[in-house]
Structure 1
């Protein structure tokens, strides 16, 4: 005779996460009762250079301590969102400053071009405007790198604190399973 299997109802969840952090997310979600079903890589035809993967998970609907696990999971997701925001903030303003500097350099080059095509050409003005133009085209690279380093110094300790908070949340979730 065949043994009857007990029915288990599952709830399902899909989460799209950065490719570099997929393992961390998978490990953390397991502490809230989720079991990994698969990791979906984006199709090469659709997005050849995708930085995200989709994690598909399932969890027993009648898991013990479901309410507390769900609360801890929401805290985890809030922490990961804060980390993503801080990671983006490290490059946002440096990018803006580099772009503004490059645009100002381009404006000087436009002035230099207008000076040389003027009738009669004003060569001294062309040279005078070309100097800050080239500086405005070269400086953004170095400006960007320096500002990113400053932002990293500012945000890295906060990101480390959030990661520590995530690990504590995961420990609590694991203890409830």
Structure 2
């Protein structure tokens, strides 16, 4: 007997799963039906933006969503699935699932590229701008160089404004660069889903 949420093996005496806390369903034997259906279980962790597409992909592979848990930090969600062990053409489905997982990881990486370079540039320029602004304050308050301090301080303030402009422009250019690759990955996912449906229908 296994937990319907996390797949942990149970002794049969528990009322809740000791691993995830899910209430244990006691199977009822009915005439002409087996007492227990055997399942296999899978877990995957994806970014919150990709939860829906991941669930759709796994459902096309015959998986059933049994639980989801959003991380308090990191912007990710852990998904739990189950599928009957009696499913046919499992080897083909496993191969398609690996392709889907690779494509989903690729999309997540490409989404991250939209802001990665912009963040690095903005942080670098922000540090320089802050240092310049600090020098300006020192000129004014410590070294009694009021005119020079004002000029240097204005340069630092302009640099701080430039950080925001640089971030936005870099994000826009990176988004334009990676968007075609993201769309191509989604097209490949759609093709993989169609292939999985064909395999399940042939079972």
**TM-score category of the 2 structures, normalised to the smaller one:** 0.7 to 0.9
Tell me what 1:124 maps to: 147
Mapped to 2, the partners of 1:30 and 1:161 lie a distance apart of 21
TM-score, length basis structure 2: 0.77
Quick one: distance in 2 between partners of 1:160 and 1:130?
45
Structure 2: 5+ residue stretches without partners: 1-29
Q: Given the superposition, is the C-alpha separation of residues 82 and 50 from structure 1 closer, same or farther in structure 2, using an over 3 Å criterion?
A: closer
Greater helix share, structure number: 1
Deviation at residue 8 of structure 1 after TM alignment: 3.4
- Out of 66, 70, 73, the residue aligned to residue 37 of structure 1 is 66
The alignment status of 1:51 with 2:75, answered yes or no, reads yes
CA RMSD, Structure 1 to Structure 2 (Å): 1.9
Alignment of 1:23-172 (within 5 A): 23-41=52-70, 47=72, 51-119=75-143, 121-172=144-195
Tell which has more relative contact order, 1 or 2 (C-alpha 8 A, sep 6+).
1
What stretches of structure 1 of length at least 5 have no aligned partner?
none
Q: Is the 8 A contact 2:125 2:163 kept in 1?
A: yes
Q: Distance in 2 between matches of 1:136 and 1:54?
A: 41
User: Which secondary structure does the structure 2 equivalent of 1:39 belong to?
Assistant: strand
TM-score (structure 1 length as normaliser)? 0.88
Question: What is the number of residues matched between the two proteins?
Answer: 171
CA distance in 1, matches of 2:50, 2:171: 21
Contact 2:100 2:189 in 1 (8 A): yes
